Amino acid sequence: MKVSALLVTATLMLPVFMTACTNAEAPRTAADPAAPTDKEWSMPNKNYASTRYSTLNTINTDNVKTLKVAWTFSTGVLRGHEGGPLVVGETMYVHTPFPDIVYALDLAKEGAPIKWKYVPKQDPKVIPIACCDTVNRGLAYADGSIFLNQLDATTVALDAATGKELWKIKQGDYKNGQTITSAPMVVKDKVISGISGGEFGVRGFVTANDVKTGKQVWRMYSTGPEAEVGFTGTDNEKSWKGDEWKRGGGTTWGWYSYDPELNLFYYGTGNPGSWNPDQRPGDNKWSMTIFARDPDTGLAKWAYQKTPHDAWDYDGINENVLIDLTLNGQMRKVLVNFDRNGFSYTLDRATGELLMAEPFVNVNWAKGIDLKTGLPIENPEKRTSSAMNTKDICPSAMGGKNQQPVAYSPRTNLFYVPANNLCMDYEGVKIAYQAGQPYVGAIVLSRPGPGGNRGEFIAWDPTTGKKAWSIPEGLAAWGGALATGGDVVFYGTMEGWLKAVHAKTGEVLWKFKTPSGIIGNPMTYTGPDGKQYVAVLSGVGGWSGIAVAGDLGAEALPTDALGAVGAFGDVGSFSTQGGVLTVFALP
């Protein structure tokens, strides 16, 4: 069964809507900024489609077992290292968590010495405003410039050759709870950035700034009046109680994708504020939503709300991977999203039509997704409230998959999914909003899911909505995946292992223990010497590793760190703080 995307004139109870984009320019291809060669890695998720797939195949299933460390680099920062480096030409660009240092490393010289270093000036008072560690998910490159989002909600453009600051613009104020942890994306002549702070009552938005000057071109919000959301005819405000939409979350701290032919970029919005669902009756549009927007105007063509009136903190910001897929004998241009709520969604990326939705992890909060309406078929026993402590909900608020991005290989037609196996208890509590203060309103306790393993690395067949194979992990698989033309897939573990597995079978072909837990995303490139390299950041942290990164200590309660300590309070037994880039090559 399939559901067609609904026009805005259709029944407004349904979560998929469509409206027309206006003033769209013809899609550009060769003229697009940041058009990479496959020897480079010039975008955080490799390409606009966010496949994290490289055609490089010198490292393959036969020889990966001989992979050795080529060189290492210490970032000098001991917090959670998410994301991964960029490689453009003969330069590697490495970022750190707060204070968000950027290094340019010279790959043409032995040991990759530093070409330049940029250290932002930020008020350390921003540190406790970061919800779940002081992470940064990466940089963007275009037209000779590097773009950085700082934790204090500042976007900076740097000269890629010298590190000179070209422009700097404030996107928000951390004193009001606004921060930025996501990587920007450049689309044509605009750099697109989101905002974090859903746990502080921040109203989510996405912003386009001029690449050359930093001038704001447009800003569109996730909640509120239609003109400010850029999506007409959908009664956004009526889906909230009173003016709750003004602190309604829907922040945009995840990943971005772009289809040049359709001239649409895609991203997800986060949880509604507060976490107590009783304080915000209604669907809470457009939290927990996949948006398709025109990058020229910011106007939305369609939106699909995955989890209306969220009661579990199933932040909907995970990456949207753009592929062509044969379904029911028909080739479709689709978007695939592995959501925190435990379901994998496949939508027509031109229209928002929902084509498939299947659980990829253990799920009991819903029995499935109704393909006619697009709505979850909820299990009423697992809907949370402030009237009780709802027990044993799967997945936990930490998600069936958190922000760690998947990879897709066109050689195997499989997705490679770093997943969690976590359940939780959840009780809403009444909370009053105060600017710059936490606005959570829930007591959460996460724990390992069925079987006791807290993670799993999954090969997923998008044509059937089923697992092809999987590898259980003792801790969550909190880092991203990399697929290559050599049929080798790489991923990291919170213990610090970088693993190489056979893309077709899941056989572990090689592994190496890095200095700290891996929550970053491996990448690959061809060096100036013509050799293929694989690189990954290690440095345990993020939400899952905050007990170590934040030095919470033995006195931490299981419900601390928004419930993360209950699931990962023992991470310190497996990993210590770190901040190291490790680069591998064949002998």
Catalytic residue numbers? 199, 271, 313
Whether the Cβ atoms of residue 563 and residue 557 lie closer than 8 Å to each other: no
The first and second tokens of residue 448, run together, are 């390992």
Q: What is the DSSP letter of 28?
A: -
If phi > 0 it is left, if psi is from -120 to 50 it is alpha, else beta; for residue 290 that is beta
Give the residues across from 192 on adjacent strands: 185, 208
The first and second tokens of residue 175, run together, are 């004193």
HEC assignment per residue over 347-359: EECCCCCEEEEEE
In a 3-state reduction of DSSP, which class is residue 247? helix
The first and second tokens of residue 27, run together, are 């899609």
Q: Which residues of 512-527 are buried (b: 16+ CB within 10 A; e: fewer)?
A: bebbbbbbbbbbbbbb
The first and second tokens of residue 244, run together, are 């709750």
In a 3-state reduction of DSSP, which class is residue 53? strand
How far, rounded to the nearest angstrom, does the alpha carbon of residue 428 sit from its chain's CA centroid? 26
Task: Give the up-direction half-sphere exposure of residue 86: CA atoms within 13 A in the CB hemisphere.
Answer: 29
* The dihedral sign for the CA sequence 577, 578, 579, 585: negative
DSSP H/E element including 537: strand 532-538
CA-CA-CA-CA dihedral for 208, 211, 217, 222, to nearest 10: 0
In a 3-state reduction of DSSP, which class is residue 64? helix
Describe the chain by its helix, strand, coil percentages, rounded to 5. 10, 35, 55
Q: What is the DSSP letter of 198?
A: G
| 470 vs 400: CA distance, rounded Å | 14
Residue 179 makes CB contacts below 8 A (sequence gap 6+) with 126, 129, 130, 131, 151, 152, 153, 172, 195, 196, 197
Residue 301: which of 27, 7, 58 has the closest Cα? Answer: 7
Please identify which residue in the block is written with the tokens 């998947």: 406
Residue 108: which of 450, 534, 531, 506 has the closest Cα? Answer: 531
| 113 vs 73: CA distance, rounded Å | 9
Whether the Cβ atoms of residue 264 and residue 294 lie closer than 8 Å to each other: yes
| 439 vs 129: CA distance, rounded Å | 11
Give the residues across from 303 on adjacent strands: 17, 291
| 75 vs 352: CA distance, rounded Å | 41
Backbone angles phi, psi at 267, to 5 degrees: -160, 165
Please identify which residue in the block is written with the tokens 């105007």: 297
